[in-house]
Amino acid sequence: MVGLVTGGGSGIGAALCRRLAARGVAVVVADVDEAGAQVVADETGGMALALDVSRRDAWEAAIASVADEHGRLDLLALNAGTMSRPRGASIDDDPFPWIAENYEKVRAVNNDGVVFGILAALPLLEAASGRIVCTSSGAGLRPLDSDPIYSMTKHAVIGLVRSLAGPLAARGIAIGAVCPGGVDTPMVSPDIRALGRAFASADHVAEALETVLDASVAETGGIWISRGTEAPWRYEFADATTPPSHNPAGVTP
- Cα–Cα dist 49/5, whole Å: 10
Contacts with 24 (C-beta within 8 Å, 6 or more apart), sequence order:
1
- Give the HSE-up count for residue 58: Cα atoms under 13 Å, Cβ half-sphere: 17
- Cα–Cα dist 166/171, whole Å: 9
Axis-axis angle for helices 113-128, 56-70 (nearest 10): 30
- Cα–Cα dist 173/163, whole Å: 13
Long-range pairs for 17-22: beta carbons < 8 A, 24 or more residues apart: 17/44, 17/46, 18/43, 18/44, 18/203, 18/206, 19/203, 19/206, 19/207, 19/210, 20/44, 20/75, 20/210, 21/45, 21/46
| Residue burial 189-217, b: 16+ Cβ < 10 Å; e: rest | beeeeeeeeebbebebbbbbbbbbbebeb
Sign (positive/negative) of CA torsion 98, 226, 16, 67?
negative
**H-run or E-run covering 165:** helix 148-169
Catalytic residue (choose from 98, 116, 150, 224): 150
**235 is known as an active-site residue:** no
Active site residues: 150
